[in-house]
Structure 1
Amino acid sequence: MEWREGEEKRMGKNGYLPLFETRPARGLVFFRSYAASIFIGICFICFHRVSCFPVTERWVWVGMFVAELWFSFYFFITVIVKWNPVFRSTFKDRLSSRYEEEELPGVDIFVCTADPRLEPPTMVVSTVLSVMAYDYPPHKLSVYLSDDGCSDLTFYALLEASGFAQLWLPFCRKLKVEPTSPEAYFQTTPEPVDDAFMANEWLIIKVKNSGDDEISYYSGEIRYCSGEIKNNYKKTYEDMKIRIESMTRLGKVPADIRKEHKGFDEWDLVDSRHDHPSILQ
């Protein structure tokens, strides 16, 4: 009941919870006491300068007084900025409860990268997957990757991520996981062994087929040729990372993989990563 009453108090005139909250900082008594003591000291110094005007060496007096006036001005500006600090928090989860899906605007998100050596492709695809998993209508969310380095390794990493996204995005939207970056999520979230429903969502659907015991991966697609194999999202993501990192260490995309997607043909026209035609995929 207390929680419900607190929520009702925060309701706006339109009956919705606020999208952001402003909270004043605490523990300002010591800072304001310190500022008040400095202010009193400045007043005494200014009174002393004005009441004790020297007969000789006036330029020294003028220089000291100007310096003290400048310090006073700087002090007042600093205190004004820090006198009443506030903290603002946003509540993204309340956006969908206030607006209908049709009322939300379209959003374009650009992820920029330039060098696969300084910005590893695994980090780039984790960022892309993170923004794709935002709690926002998928048909109103567009994600673009701008690669100034024109690296086919980044393109290969995106192909891998596009397959993993078919598993990751439904998982995020169904369970409202946070953070939506798979790299951060698997590092900070333990495997849910106590929650049967959550643990089941971690597991990939088991597939049976006849043939040789083999698992082949490309672009996040998992093909089971025989047996009953159970895997989880974390292992699938780690396997994808291993493939991308292996390709990054190799420094190029092998010819057999380049043949599997026509997009790699665009890199046949690239002579230099610093001077190349635009490639749009």
Structure 2
Amino acid sequence: MVMEKGNAKAKEYKQSNDMKPLGILIDGRGDPNAVDTEGVTLPTLIRVSSEISNGSIILNVDCDMYANNSELVRDAVCFFMDEENGHEIAYVQFPQNYNNMTKNNLYGTSMKIIPEMATIKMWIFLDWMAMEDLCTWALDVFTGESLSGKKYNKQNKEKWESIPIGRKVDESSHDSEERIKGLATCTYEENTQWGNEMGLKYGCPVEDVITGLSIQCRGWKSVYFNPVRKGFLGLAPTSLAQSLVQHKRWSEGDFQILTSKFCPFIYGHGKIKLALQMGYGIYCFWALNSFPTLFYVIFPSLCLYKGISLFPSIYSPWFLPFMYVIIAEYAYNILESLWHGMTLKGWWNEQRMWLLKRTTSYLFAFVDTLLLLSGIAKSAFIITAKVSDDDVSQRYEQEIMEFGSSSPMFTILASLAMLNLFCLIGGATRVMMDGGISVLETLMLQFLLCGSLVLINVPFYQGLFFRKDKGRLPTSLAITSVVVAVLACLISIY
């Protein structure tokens, strides 16, 4: 059975992008005349349901992704057929990859290092069974047995040779169609365990993560598979707003898991390894990460503006630990990025996006989750738009950051950018007027932090004051950000 999320959107995506989504290979025979751009034979695209085929393998693909490797299903099945451990595998997960990435990863969406490091981890341990993974079901091949809500049982080892690959159909196609229509309705699931114990879990923006967690807590294992030829490809966001909204949805869903009965440290206690619980926890705490980030973006800069030193002087022995952490962290991060094929500018773009997401996407995710828990608002699933007009696409290819409209997220980001610019100018003025080098010695780390924030926000200064294209920030937002930054500086003084 092939499970597709958003079939209509998938069809529209296929037609608009001239791509060929690939279904699971049911009968093992492909059309020898159907080949991809590299001459590899494509299997037949067959849509079947569990009532028609009784298939034991389910391929789950997001509507904005398509298969890029005709052998991905066969490779995934190899894990399930492992004689020693295959019976305990619930799903095989592929990394997310995109076919529209710019050279320097403008919006930091390539996620290139994570899958590469996961692959290296498997090489080091020399044991693919040791590599369990968080389930983000954009691209997975999993067993119908694990998705049906069954718990893993060591005593019940089914042999793949005995599993039927299909079902003899005695009824007519018309009768079968009429019967299956009832199964496809939403009302069929009322008063059942669908969406609770069976199938994907509903009511959460990241249904893939919460479903994967529940499967692993039932005793099943998972495998992370990163083939040489990428298994699936899709479209990455082509504007800043799209990227921020996407991460707002992800972080909001993960934070909802943390505040629910499915909290990895409670629901997973005694069921999954502590390391895996902590792996889920990294994403569940995304939303809370906004507050320390906002603190470091705002208060050290305001203290620099007022001349208050927060860090040791450059001649103090306590200055060395700070510099060691800064140099070691960024040196390792840069070398790791370059080693995995990223450019230096791509690394810088990724640092910028992490800052922007932490100060907006994660903050809004936290607020919305609190409103949901208090009953003031209801959960909403916001789909990230991936279709852009020609002007936006052209600017994206030229790696020009796309703004184009005003939003609360842009108001926060623009105000923070102007605040740090004013604080850097004010701090430099204070150094020149109030003692020169002696003042600089005590404020050096704050100058370094504030200066880095100003450099990161260069695209915002361009969008606010210098750009003339449609992707610039509105003039009203430029005025608002300046007023907010000035007020913040005045408040810090008085």
Pairwise TM-score range, normalised by the shorter structure: under 0.3
Larger radius of gyration: 1
Tell me: higher relative CO, structure 1 or 2? Use CA pairs within 8 A at least 6 residues apart.
2
